[in-house]
Amino acid sequence: MDVKKTKDASMLLGVSQTTVKKWASHYSSFFQKDHLGHYVFTDDDISLLQYIKEQIALGHTLDHIVPPVSPVSPVVELQQVPTNKNKQMDHTELLSRIREVERSVQQKADEVVSAQVLLHRAEIDEMRKMIAQLAATVETMQNVKSKPPSTYGELFLPAAEPTPIAPKKQSMFRYFF
């Protein structure tokens, strides 16, 4: 069975690879993918793509084009069937990869949790400092409130003190005389 990649199919049809991928994804039940998830095309698939191209040239949209063949059965393996020994090796390799991925995910999760704990600890320390400052401010306000003012001048805030009046400027004419 002669299998062509997307690039080969696009060159045969005279369209871009993106167009072939778009057609294949729109009619995904008619086209197969390899073990890496790439579309692969047989001679029958190429003729189906040629039919789609002709229909589009006639002015039909992808939604209105009905392919003349029935869809391919799902998951048809294009490579030869592995032997039991290869299956066992693939199985152990797959298990080791799964363990490695699980370990790396666990490590990432631990790192994220550690970073969040440090961030929360810094926020808590900052809040403790703010609470201490607020407590000190409240205490000073209570001390000021409980202490009676001894003189009349202490009742006024420094910002409310009267500003000194600047002397009037005399005109230059009076300055000379």
Long-range contacts of 72-78 (CB under 8 A, 24+ apart): 72/29, 72/30, 72/31, 72/32, 74/29, 76/32, 78/1, 78/3, 78/32, 78/34, 78/40
- Dump pLDDT digits (tens) for 56-86: 998 988 888 888 766 554 444 445 545 566 7
Fold of 6-64: Multidrug-efflux Transporter Regulator; Chain: A; Domain 2 (1.10.1660)
Strand partners of residue 39: 33
pTM: 0.40
Greater confidence, 77 or 133?
A: 133
pLDDT, position 27: 87
Element holding 32 (H helix, E strand): strand 32-33
Q: Does residue 109 carry a pLDDT above 60?
A: yes
